[in-house]
Amino acid sequence: MSHKDLHKPFYLKNGSNIGVLCIHGLFGSPNQFIDIAKVIETLGYDVKAILLPGHGGGCKDFAKSSYKDWKEYAKVEIEKMQQHYDKVFLVGHSMGGLFCLDFADEVQADGVILINTPMKVHVKLEKIFMCMKVVFMNNTITSVFETENPKPLYSVDNGRWYEYITWIAPMLGIYKLIEYGKKPLISSVRTQ
């Protein structure tokens, strides 16, 4: 099974008029929503988990993507959901939560669930070492919930050490996304 096959987007349909769209974070995967999606499906709603551009492939694929690509893709997927459902709820993890915040008012989302959405980024030495461990020791981060058949949560395949240098530009985009994500929060506080 190829690396890309391990991170396929999924769409669970019950024929509901309510749809839930799940958007993963930086380096994330639709896999991180498997357990949440099962619960949503059990409640009778349709649920879709997408794979953002540059994710699910190799180092070079990620380096060719940008926060603008991710943001545009998320918006298009939200709009697709709205064409098919009377109500659309957004679930975002980390960077995916920033997209939910950014588009919630614009697309008139019926609800938003944010999981670990960053409002600031603090780069700490221990986090750098954790990332280096994943990159250089070929570690695979897997689901802690899915016990029968754990799936990888980190969707960018390992590469050579020098390929990670090209990640600087896409990763710096997270600061721009945080800025966009804060705008609706700040404006809603000012209007109250």
Least confident of 39-43, 100-104, 146-150, 174-178: 146-150
- Distance separating alpha carbons of residues 117 and 181, to the nearest angstrom: 9
- Strands 10-12, 46-49: pairing kind: antiparallel
Angle between helices 95-104 and 67-84 (to 10 degrees): 60
Question: What is the gyration radius of the CA atoms in the chain, in angstroms?
Answer: 17
- Distance separating alpha carbons of residues 56 and 154, to the nearest angstrom: 8
Q: Output the pLDDT for position 93.
A: 95
What are the pLDDT digits (tens) for 64-110? Answer: 999 999 999 999 999 999 999 999 999 999 999 999 988 888 889 99
